[in-house]
Amino acid sequence: MCDYSLHAVANRPAEVADRLVSARFPSTTTKGFASCDDPHVAVCLRPGTEIAFEENVRVDGWFFRRHVNDRLARFRQINAGRDQHHDALEFSNGRIVLVTDLRPGQKAVVVQLPVSQAAQKTRTPAPAATPRVARTTP
């Protein structure tokens, strides 16, 4: 998913092993992820997608930059139903950071995508074979 303010930007879904960079997109008020190969296309993550950053993550603050002190994160959405940024990363140390607060230029790789809902559906088991009854002729 891409944050609501990135819907006007060309985008595509993330794939395993995609190399991403945190980026500011022209004509928007937010930041997101772009492909390292095509920085003008937003790469949208689905909730549950895991990414690994090359270095400890840095976050832009009001007056100074902060460090998250972690590199592994799972994408999730917060503030649902509100007109606020809702794309966030939950780091393995428990910290949650809005994607729009990431400092631009940080590189990451998509480690794992969430299991698709189609694959989660239980399959109907094949009917069991009916046992054959031996017939005897009188």
The candidate with the shortest Cα–Cα distance to 100, out of 81, 87, 110, 109, is 87
pLDDT in tens, 43-66: 999 999 999 999 999 998 665 568
Number of DSSP helices (H) and strands (E) in the chain, helices first = 1, 11
Q: How far apart are CA 61 and CA 128, in angstroms?
A: 62
Identify the residue with better confidence: 119 or 37.
37
pLDDT in tens, 24-34: 988 787 789 99
Cβ-contact 72, 50 below 8 angstroms = yes
Which are the contacts of 50, defined by CB distance < 8 A and separation ≥ 6? 72, 73, 74, 75, 110, 111, 112
Predicted pLDDT of residue 9: 86
Q: How far apart are CA 54 and CA 38, in angstroms?
A: 19
